[in-house]
Structure 1
Amino acid sequence: MIALDAATASRYARLALKNIVEPWPHKLDHLINGPEDLTAPRVQHPAFWGSYDWHSCVHMHWSLARLLRLFPDLPERNATAAAFDAHLNRDTIAGELAYLAQPGRGSFERPYGWGWLLKLAAELVLLTREQGTADLGAKRWAEAIAPLATAFHDRFIEFLPRADYPNRAGTHGNSAFALLLALDACAVTASPALTQLIHRKAHDWFGRDRRYPAEYEPSGSDFLSAGLCEAALMSRVVDGCDYADWWQAFRPTDAALATWLAPAKVSDRIDPQIVHLDGLNLSRVWCWRMIAAQTDVPREVIERAIDAHLAASLPHVAVGDFGATHWLASFALLALTEPVVPLAGPAALN
């Protein structure tokens, strides 16, 4: 049984606290409209300027919020509260909104960063409901970030009807992954309009997929399985027996399915693209746990695959090059703390 224990939670929290205030190196997603836009990331993004890039900074904040919620006595509790006070306040969020309002930035961080920002906002709402953490200022942080969450919620609402085709990449553009994160947020913040739109778009994009070619995965810089993310999303928008029918049509051949059951090899953890494959191993765990009870793959086969993927990549989450450590803890937390529906038996990850 592999679980997130207090010592590991503390180690991940220390890593996240260090990362979100690490300004360099930084990889910008930045449209330059003129010379006045040649500014440092901290000027452009007063809330999310560290951790190598904007979206990683967002989901490392989510990691801290998740750890604080699951471990109210976390030794880094006060340091996390101080960091959130500094980063998630009315002024810093106003700066983020000002950045979004500039011409040509409608697609900034679409869709990956959009999904993660909504998930962070939802986690802060959940944190306000927890005894022992609300007193730290969770309500204040949740209220501060709410206008930014509304902005990205509205961008989803505006964008999805225009998107005739999904992005099936194994990287940041993946449509299914972002919609899964957005659905998680909708479940907390009660957004029926976005929920209904995601359900409809998932059916339009993926409802007729047949015999998914899993043997084509992974590509060399994937941190997501496009096929497993799709299967996980459909498990959230298709009910019961209907999902079983969808799965049978979508299901890869046995030989191709084996690709999803064996961990990807990570040959170079210094290379910032190749090390994405550690994230792939962790996100596969997250997906398998979502769909395990609804597929015809034997439970013991899935459990062995989950254990193998975790054994391959968990030891590398918090050690090594910044190209990996600036983001992998978030994917470890997805693997270890989600979803709420557990696997049965001794290999359950609770």
Structure 2
Amino acid sequence: MGQSLGVAVLGAGHMGADHLRRLDRVVSGARVVAVADPDTARAEEAVAGREGVAVRTEVEAALDAPGVEAVLVASPGEAHEEALLAAFARGLPVLCEKPMVPDSAGALRVVEAELRLGRRLAQIGFMRRYDAEYQRLKTLLDSGRLGRPLMLHCTHRNVSSPPHFTSAMLVNSSVSHEIDAARWLLGQEPVAVTVHRPRPSSGAPEGLLDPQFVLFETDGGALVDVEVFVNCGFGYQVRCEAVCEAGSARIGDEHTMVVTAAGGAREEVARDYLVRFADAYDREVRAWVAAVRGGRVTGPSAWDGYAASAVAEAGVRALETGARTAVALAPRPDLYAPARRIP
């Protein structure tokens, strides 16, 4: 491997463009050598001013470009399976944005492909594991100082949803972050999901069931509730409170600039996830580059991506039926070290 890791970025949209900027200006030890996007004009705009970057419309053409040693997948979720399998076929390590694959059957195919290689190549982009507040909460829970975790109360709010957003996507796109965060924080697997639907907000597009209240039960006896509200109108908020036997801990309270003027005070609220989790994304990509340059793959695994898809799938069924829905996970292969902590 060269002195600087050659990365192919798949997808030049909102997330892909941000990662291109990150690799170019924030993360050392890596350089973008290829970009793939069906929209050539968008890809050309995203790499403007950068020399030596191959622009392609097809995934495989980008992966075969000179100097590609690793892949960052930031294309739409339905394109991830093809990209991951193509990277695996070339032995290229991958950082893949969530969802790894939207449906559990496709996610399991990715896991099985990696198992055939006999080694990990994929890291999945659950960036909250790299957020400083989430890491502090994880350290505290693992220490046992607050006793056994009983409940997690989570809030996930967005200013507005994209035009294509559906009621199911509140679970399988937005809440997928809480699914992974809960599994990681608790070391427990969700075993059942219930979704409650209050009267939709007047700010939600016609037909969109927003907000929703999602309740997970875990195999360690904990409960995880998530208020997801993707058209709240006022800002982007992500909070999590762990309630334990001997105390509680909360993260996500905004510690931003407070402006006082004209007889009043105003506290800034982040407008989207790229602002709220900018540092987490930086830490995530920096850790990925360092690991790959050292010949390793760390972080959330393809199994974590599969588990999130399977739990979200059960959540969508619960949304559609109104019934408590069991989560069915395949047996966990030995390649993916368990991350379980059930006192």
* Alignment TM-score, normalising by the size of structure 1: 0.29
Higher RCO (CA 8 Å, separation ≥ 6 residues): 2
Q: Kindly indicate which of the two structures has a greater share of residues assigned to strand.
A: 2
Q: Kindly indicate which of the two structures has a greater share of residues assigned to helix.
A: 1
* Alignment TM-score, normalising by the size of structure 2: 0.30
